[in-house]
Amino acid sequence: MAATIMGGLCLASPAFAAGTLAGTDIENMATASYETPGGTIQIDSNLVVIKVDELLDVTVTNSDPGDIPSSPGATANVQRFLVTNTGNGEEAFRLTPNLAVAGDDFDPALQNVVLDSNGNGVYDPGVDTVYTAGTNDPVLQPDQSITVFVISSTPATVNDGNRAEVSLSVAATTGTGAPGTTFTGAGNGGGDAVVGTTGADADDNGFLAVQAAILSLVKSAVVADPFGGSRAVPGSTITYTLVATITGSGSLTNVVISDPIPADTQYVPGSITLDAATLTDAADTDQGNFNGSQVRAAVRNIAAGETRTVTFRVVIQ
């Protein structure tokens, strides 16, 4: 029996996507009446009970905002898919990844399919549950969703700009088929299970994109208090330093660094620098600006082996 994955389920509204819950009994009784010298007589019909069958439907959607960046030889590429039970009954779903989609530039190697056990939408190694088909197929209530992570590695032989398509297929374990296909007695509550408009299976895809140039960003802070020390007290100045470094090969274009001003601090006007050159706060022709809540520096194009350094200051209130 498939295990129910409860931690990673996202509860939806009480109105079920496919209507009345599977297994619900719809009961109805008619009445008739007639007049006699002694008064009105009423009689009841027999009770008619119709059990609502289970409708098998599912959707899957890639949740990533765009291509997931990777690099030659990279491991633990993470792609996210949202699986939703759009049927009207509790159902288990079989998950099948496909990393050998025809027509793309390379095939990643599958490491794991993982279920988002804690429901935070973020892959947490050692916390989220590794999926094994037929062992812990996620069991979803009507309108419930679960995030599924497909974890892969990239071959070392790929080139900059190569893209790989990764697909996830999802199918109801009760059965799939043409809409209207019926599985007698297999529905929730003892009714039939009927395939809905999705065919009780669905798939979606996302892409990995190889970037031979890899960006890292390191942030540090130095505190100067009003008494010549380094204690963080009201009136102390914090100087933040952001260092962007490109490794690998090639270059990255239109790199932008932004940093929100922390709560309980106030930005020091005119304190933005890029590689020691002062930038203005206004959104003008230079590369920096402060919009009232965050500092932004458009460091533009960076080639592998280069760094860009942004600094700014705030005062603790």
Which domains, from first to last, does the chain contain?
55-210 (2.60.40.10), 213-316 (2.60.40.2260)
- The tokens describing 260, both together, are 């929100």
Count, in order, helices (H) and strands (E) of the chain. 0, 27
Nearest to 283 by CA among 301, 256, 262, 303: 256
The per-residue pLDDT for 12 is: 39
Residue 208 · residue 158 · CB < 8 Å: no
The per-residue pLDDT for 15 is: 52
Going by C-beta distance under 8 Å and a sequence separation of 6 or more, which residues neighbour residue 162? 105, 106, 209, 210
Residue 258 · residue 275 · CB < 8 Å: no
Going by C-beta distance under 8 Å and a sequence separation of 6 or more, which residues neighbour residue 3? 135, 136, 137, 139
| Mean pLDDT, contiguous 10-residue spans, the chain (317 residues) | 44 59 93 94 93 95 94 93 97 98 97 97 96 97 97 93 96 98 95 96 96 88 97 97 86 92 97 96 94 94 90 98
The per-residue pLDDT for 160 is: 84
Q: What is the model's pTM?
A: 0.70
The per-residue pLDDT for 146 is: 98
The per-residue pLDDT for 313 is: 98
The per-residue pLDDT for 305 is: 86
